[in-house]
Amino acid sequence: MNASQSSWNRIAADAFAVLARWLLGAVFLYLGLNKALHPVEFLKLVRQYDLVQSSLLLNSIAAALPWFEIFCGLLLLAGVAVRGTAVMLIVMLVPFTVLVFRRALAIQSALAIPFCAVKFDCGCGNGEVFICRKLLENFLFILFSVWLLAGYGRNLCVRHSLMSCAAKTSLTEEGGSNGSI
C-alpha cells in the first residue's frame, strides 16, 4: 500500500515536473520572440535600467538576450541539457528580478503610490505589468528552475543531460565491446 502510494506520488511529481518544464520553455520562447521581433523597443527598455554606459555593451545585451531566451525555451521544450538550461534561467532570473524590484522602488518613490500599484514595462516581453504580479511570477519561475536543476522533469526528454549521456553512452559501448570479447 505504502509502496504503491509512494510510486503514485513519484509519478505525479514527475508528470508535474514535465509540465513545469514545458510551461517554462513555452513562456521563455514566447517572451523571447516578443523581444526579438521588436529589438529597438527592447533596447530602449534595457537602457532604462541604467546598467551600462557603453553602447556596445547595451546593444549586445539587447541583441543577444531575446535570442538566448528563445534558445533556452526550445531546449526546455525539447528536453535537451535541462539542468544546464535551468542554471542559465536562474542566472538570468535572479539578477533581473532584483533589477525590476529596484526600478519599481524608484518608481514608487517618484510617484508616491503603494508598491503593488506600480505598473510599468519591465522589458519582460509582455508589456506593462503590475510589479507584485511580476515578482510572484519570477519567484515561481526560479522555483521551477531549481526543481529542474535538482533533476526532476526527466521524462519525455530528447537528451536530459548532454555530458552524462555522452559519458554513459561511451561506458555502455566500452562495456559492450568488453562483453563481446
Partner 1 sequence: MVAAAGMVLAFGANLVSPRGLALTRNYFPAGISRPVPVARDVTNTNPPASSPAQLLAVRLKEQGLQSVDGRQAAQLFHDPRFTQGSIAFIDARDEQHYREGHIPGACEFDPYYPEKYFAAVLPVCQAAEKIVVYCNGGDCDDSESAAILLRDVGITNQKLFVYTGGIPEWITNGLPVEIGGRNSGNLRSTNK
Q: Which residues form the interface with partner 1 (CB under 8 A)?
A: 36-40, 43, 47-48, 50, 52-56, 58-60, 62-68, 70-72, 75, 81, 84-85, 87-88, 106-107, 109-112, 162-163
Distance between CA 68 and CA 71 in Å, rounded?
5
CB of 118 to partner 1, least distance (A): 11
Distance between CA 40 and CA 44 in Å, rounded?
6
CB of 180 to partner 1, least distance (A): 32
Q: Which of 15, 105 has the CB closer to partner 1?
A: 105
Count Cα neighbours of 85 within 13 Å in the Cβ-side half-sphere.
29
CB of 140 to partner 1, least distance (A): 22
Residue 123: φ, ψ to 5°: 80, 20
CB of 158 to partner 1, least distance (A): 14
Q: Which of 16, 47 has the CB closer to partner 1?
A: 47
String of DSSP letters for 44-58: HHHHTTT--S-HHHH
Distance between CA 45 and CA 24 in Å, rounded?
23
Q: Which of 3, 110 has the CB closer to partner 1?
A: 110
User: How many other CB atoms are there within 10 angstroms of residue 67's CB atom?
Assistant: 14
DSSP state of 129: E
User: How many other CB atoms are there within 10 angstroms of residue 129's CB atom?
Assistant: 17
Q: Which of 20, 88 has the CB closer to partner 1?
A: 88
Q: Which of 110, 181 has the CB closer to partner 1?
A: 110
CB of 2 to partner 1, least distance (A): 39
